[in-house]
Amino acid sequence: MTMTTQDRHETEKLLTPAEVAALFRVDPKTVTRWAKAGKLTSIRTLGGHRRYRESEVRDLLGGGH
> Length of the chain, please?
65
Q: Which amino acid is at 23?
A: L
> Is residue 14 packed enough to be buried (19+ CB in 10 Å), middle (13-18) or exposed (0-12)?
middle
Segment near DNA (CB under 7 A); pick from 2-10, 14-22, 55-63: 14-22
Residue 29 sits in the site that holds its own copies (CB under 8 A): no
Residue 9 interaction partner, one of its own copies, DNA, none, beta carbon < 5-8 Å per kind = its own copies
What residues line the site for its own copies (CB under 8 A)? 9-10, 13-16, 23-26, 30, 34, 39-47, 51, 58, 60-62, 64-65
